[in-house]
Amino acid sequence: MKQRVLAAMLAVCFCMTGCMLKKTKVKREKPEEVPTASPIQTALPEETPQQVSFVKDSFLERAAAIEAYEAEHLQTAMTQMEINQEAYAAYEKWDVLLNDVWGYLKDTLPTAEYNALLAEQLDWIDAKEAAMEAASVEWQGGTGEPMARYGEGATYTRERCYELIDLI
């Protein structure tokens, strides 16, 4: 186990060093040439309804895969440590999906709509963190505390993923 952790840490260090070495400065001759929109926004035309539908379906497929993962792995975990690990893994998977959906919405929603959603999202984050804390209090100090915390976080995040996907 220690060897795996050490190997993972070394891999991250090497990746970070490689990324830092690849950074180059872009020279701009005139200040007026600074782009006002991101390269993605300027390079891509407006999405067609078929493209939007494909994106939404892709997110829904990923959500279904996470639900299948939860059903399989949480039901087959035998020890409390395995249950805790699987609860955390499920929470992380939902969080990655949430961030991907959020990134898409950020890039595609009109600014005013995005800003309103951002305020709502910040309130949601506070509510989720409070719920995770409340769930873990019942198990405080016990071996089931991570399961309770991350299980609640996964539930909140799953629901939010579907809410955000519905906005697409």
Q: Where are the domains of the chain?
A: 45-166
> Which of 15-24, 91-100, 112-121 comes out lowest in average pLDDT?
15-24
pLDDT in tens, 21-52: 333 333 333 433 433 333 344 334 578 999 99
* pLDDT at res. 61: 98
| Chain position carrying tokens 């409340």 | 134
Q: Would you call 57 helix, strand, or coil by DSSP?
A: helix
What predicted TM-score, i.e. pTM, was given to this entire model? Answer: 0.72
Q: Among 127, 126, 146, 128, which residue's Cα sits nearest to residue 136?
A: 146
- Mean pLDDT across 114-136: 98
| 65 vs 58: CA distance, rounded Å | 11
pLDDT in tens, 123-133: 999 999 999 99
Residue 66 contacts residue 115 (beta carbons within 8 Å): no
How many CB atoms neighbour CB 41 within 10 A?
11
Residue 55 contacts residue 168 (beta carbons within 8 Å): yes
| 147 vs 85: CA distance, rounded Å | 8
> Which residues are CB-contacts of 31 (< 8 A; sequence separation ≥ 6)?
none
| Chain position carrying tokens 């494909």 | 54
Q: How confident is the model at residue 12 (pLDDT cuts 50, 70, 90)?
A: very low
At 76, the amino acid letter reads: T
